[in-house]
Amino acid sequence: MIECKGLISLMEASDTALKSADVKMSGWTKIGAGYVTGFFLGDVAAVKAGIEAGADAGNKIGEVIAVQVIPRPHDDLSQLGSWIN
Q: Is residue 85 part of a domain?
A: no
* Count of domains forming the chain: 1
Q: Is residue 6 part of a domain?
A: yes
Q: What is the CATH number of the domain that holds 66?
A: 3.30.70.1710
Q: Is residue 31 part of a domain?
A: yes
Q: Is residue 28 part of a domain?
A: yes
> Which stretch of DSSP H or E encloses residue 84?
none
CA–CA gap between residue 58 and residue 53 (Å, rounded)? 9
Indicate the SS3 state at residue 5. strand
Q: Is residue 36 part of a domain?
A: yes
On whether the pTM is more than 0.75, the answer is: yes
pLDDT tens, position by position, 3-42 = 999 999 999 999 999 999 999 999 999 999 999 999 999 9
1 Cα distance to chain centroid: 3
Domain holding 6, by residue range, is 2-80
Q: Is residue 16 part of a domain?
A: yes
Q: Is residue 30 part of a domain?
A: yes
